[in-house]
């Protein structure tokens, strides 16, 4: 079993969708895609919504639950839930929020 640790989120690039209430650290690794776990499906990589903390699978996964979550909620920013990755992504601006 992997140990989960709170690690930083890189929000260094300017973006009008970043708010002060968004977390600056999240648990990595996340336990799993919430929807995939319910239906018994596999995922490729996990993403965490920085508005509500929802954990969902990436667009390389069969069900693309992170993008579906954004479309249904309009929550703008996700971060990777993978160990060693700290980037964030803004859906409305279609860009990664880091200086890399």
Q: What is the distance, to the nearest Å, from the Cα of residue 74 to the centroid of all Cα atoms in its chain?
A: 14
Give the Cβ contact number of residue 48 at 10 Å. 24
Fold assignment, 27-96: Herpes Virus-1 (3.30.40)
Instruction: Name the more confident of 63 and 12.
Output: 63
| pLDDT on residue 85 | 93
- The 10s digit of each residue's pLDDT in 50-77 is 999 999 999 999 999 999 999 999 999 9
| pLDDT on residue 53 | 95
Give the start-to-end residue ranges of the domains of the chain: 27-96
**pTM across the whole model:** 0.92
**Rounded distance, CA 100 to CA 79, Å?**
14
Indicate the DSSP class of residue 50: T
């Amino acid at each position: 079993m992997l140990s989960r640790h709170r690690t930083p989120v890189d929000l260094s690039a300017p973006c009008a969708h970043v708010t002060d209430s968004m977390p600056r650290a999240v648990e990595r690794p996340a336990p799993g895609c919430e929807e995939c776990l319910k239906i018994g499906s596999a995922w490729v990589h996990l993403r965490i919504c920085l508005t509500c903390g929802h954990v969902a699978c990436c667009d390389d996964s069969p069900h693309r639950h992170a993008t579906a979550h954004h479309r249904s909620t309009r929550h703008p920013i996700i971060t990777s839930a993978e160990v060693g990755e700290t980037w964030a992504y803004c859906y409305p601006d279609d860009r990664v929020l880091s200086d890399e």
